[in-house]
Amino acid sequence: MVVGSAALEAMVSAVGADSHNRPSCRSCGHTVLLQVLNLGCVPLANALLTNRQLREREDRFPLELYFCPQCALAQIGETVPPERLFRDYTYASSVSDTMVEHARTLVEALIERYDLGATSRVIEIASNDGYLLQFYKARGIPVLGIEPAANIAQLAIKKGISTLIEFFDEGLARRLAAGGQFADVIHAHNVFAHVPDPNTFVGGIKQVLKPDGVAVIEAPYVRDLINKLEFDTIYHEHFSYYSVSSVEALCRRHGLMIRDVELLPIHGGSLRLFVTHEGGQVSAHVAELLAKEKAEGLLTFGYYRDFADRVARLKQQLLALLQRLQNAGHRIAAYGASAKGSTLMNAFGIDRRLIEFVVDRSQLKQGRFTPGNHLPILPPEALLKRRPDYVLLLTWNFADEILAQQGEFRRCGGKFIVPVPEVTVV
């Protein structure tokens, strides 16, 4: 069934096309995948443009979400080469106070839980600007960051954090193991979804994890993505969208197991998985979540069937509000030159006709332009200087932090529009 129009005119909520056009599963290799959502051809979500690049052709790629009925992994069909996605990156985790505090509290808990000290080693995959490893380093615990984006890795190196500017896979893991660089703790936060081949990623963890070590993996939870209508979490950097069930099947294939799991509110709902070598007991929480996912239908396509229709309705509601505000003479800006924002604006056809500019705290993004609709990216101070009446909050996952930071703008009468999971004005 086809619904919507413009950027969403190809969106479907059920299968029906020939399976030979569909990709095979990234995890188990199953060759018949079922389409959940089609967001059309959109630009890369983090491919922010310079003024010169505005005059050049902007590449677009299909953005389609599929479900594997064999291992229950939700995934996109297109594979854009990781070198193109991650070598020059504009997201620095330290920009978010929420992310830094999230990392600090986790590190302190793990140091105590696993009695980590000067003879331990912590490796972080996709270590970004060192926002997490800096807390281990401050406690005298040896660390190694692995970060493919050279510009972001240099920020960590300047903090004194040893960092390899490489992608993590089984090849790199073998080199680390050959050099005796085994880890007591491996961190992989908000990177698991970014891996085009999860088997070589998990296989690499298996090789460098000490026999009694633990890999702490955080990734957006597909259950929250569907239930809370977080469709803007879907973009080309996110190849896979995990449930506990799909991760459990993947880990088992490589001689690993999920020892424990926690549900986190961050990023609209995430999993924190504690992965170890096989053997021993799993926590009751793992068994409970596996049973709950089965009971709720996450292992079947029926759970995803109406997702496209719900996204189409959200599009109609948000566009109607923005158009109504503009017709009433109100000026509208946006907050957050984020990947989520790129998906939302390009899929919904939101451009300069509705939004004047975007603000973002990251100096790496300021002065550039958003993909597809080419909105100028300014510092947050521009909200007080230019005084738009409404601000579309594209980084809704940090709503509490941003609304608190923008207290003066709000006291001056400015309002925020939160688009997900439902359109709300605050």
Residue 172 main-chain phi, psi, to 5 deg: -65, -40
The pLDDT assigned to 91 comes to: 62
Strands (DSSP E) found in 107-254: 122-125, 143-146, 163-164, 183-189, 209-220, 240-241
Specify the pTM.
Answer: 0.88
Q: Are residues 206 and 344 in the same domain?
A: no
CATH code for the domain in which residue 366 is found: 3.40.50.720
Give the per-residue pLDDT at 89: 60
Q: Is 220 helix (H, G, I), strand (E, B) or coil?
A: strand
- Assign residue 131 the CATH number of its domain: 3.40.50.150
pLDDT for residue 86: 66
- Given 222, 251, 280, which residue is the final one in a domain? 280
Buried/exposed code over 7-22 (b: 16+ C-beta within 10 A; e: otherwise)? bbebbbbebeeeeeeb
Considering the domain boundaries, does residue 285 fall inside one? no
Q: Which residues contact 111 (CB under 8 A, 6 or more apart)?
A: 136, 139, 141
My answer on whether 344 and 412 are in the same domain is yes
What gap in Å lies between CA 368 and CA 97, rounded to an integer?
Answer: 23
- Do residues 273 and 395 share a domain? no
User: In this structure, are 100 and 182 located in the same domain?
Assistant: yes
Closest Cα to residue 123, out of 206, 198, 183, 191? 183
Determine contact, residues 218/194, Cβ cutoff 8 Å.
Answer: no
Q: Clarify whether residues 369 and 273 are in a common domain.
A: no
Estimate to the nearest angstrom the gap between the alpha carbon of 370 and the chain centroid: 18
In a domain, 370, yes or no: yes
**Domain annotation covers residue 318:** no
Residue appearing with tokens 């993004």? 365
Packing angle, helices 244-253 and 198-208, rounded to 10? 60
CB 298 within 8 A of CB 243: yes
- Residue 187 pairs in a beta bridge with 124, 216
Helix (H) or strand (E) holding 34: strand 34-42
pLDDT score, position 90? 63
**Distance between CA 283 and CA 89 in Å, rounded?**
37
The number of domains in the chain is: 2
The CA distance from 122 to 137, in Å, is: 10
Query: Would you list the DSSP string of 275-309?
Result: EEES-SPPPHHHHHHHHHHHHHTTTSGGGGTTHHH
Q: What is the pLDDT along the chain (426 residues), one digit of tens a residue?
A: 222 333 333 333 333 233 334 589 999 999 999 999 999 999 999 999 999 999 999 999 999 999 999 999 999 999 998 778 765 666 677 878 888 999 999 999 999 999 999 999 999 999 999 999 999 999 999 999 999 999 999 999 999 999 999 999 999 999 999 999 999 999 999 899 999 999 999 999 999 999 999 999 999 999 999 999 999 999 999 999 999 999 999 999 999 999 999 999 888 899 999 999 999 899 999 999 999 999 999 999 999 999 999 999 999 999 999 999 999 999 999 999 999 999 999 999 999 999 999 999 999 899 999 999 999 999 999 999 999 999 999 999 999 999 999 999 999 999 999 999 999 999
**Residue recorded with tokens 């549900």:** 263
248 and 355 fall within a common domain: no
Same domain as 212, residue 156: yes
Same domain, 353 and 416: yes
Tokens of 286: 């793992």
User: What pLDDT does 385 receive?
Assistant: 97
Q: Are residues 243 and 364 in the same domain?
A: no
Residue 34 counted as domain residue: no
State in Å, rounded, how far the first CA of the chain is from the last one.
Answer: 35
Instruction: Write down the pLDDT at residue 85.
Output: 78
Which residue range(s) make up the domain with 113?
Answer: 93-280
Q: Are 183 and 127 contacting, i.e. CB atoms less than 8 angstroms apart?
A: no
Is residue 107, in this structure, part of any structural domain at all?
yes
What pLDDT is attached to residue 280? 86
Angle at 77 between CA 74 and CA 80, to 5 degrees: 120
Same-domain pairing of 251 and 333: no
Those residues with Cβ within 8 angstroms of residue 338's Cβ, 6 or more apart along the chain or in another chain:
45, 360, 394, 395
Give me the pLDDT at residue 83, please: 75
- Regarding whether 265 and 335 lie in a shared domain, the answer is no
- Give residue 179's pLDDT: 96
**Residue that is last in its domain, among 251, 280, 309:** 280
Is residue 77 one of the residues assigned to a domain? no
Query: Domain for residue 244, yes or no?
Result: yes
CA-to-CA separations, 396 to 107, 260, 341, 402, in angstroms, rounded: 25, 28, 9, 9
Q: Given 217, 246, 280, which residue is the final one in a domain?
A: 280
Q: Are 119 and 182 in contact (CB under 8 A)?
A: no
Same domain, 392 and 253: no
- Domain-located, residue 200: yes
Question: Alpha-carbon dihedral of residues 276, 279, 285, 290, nearest 10 degrees?
Answer: 90
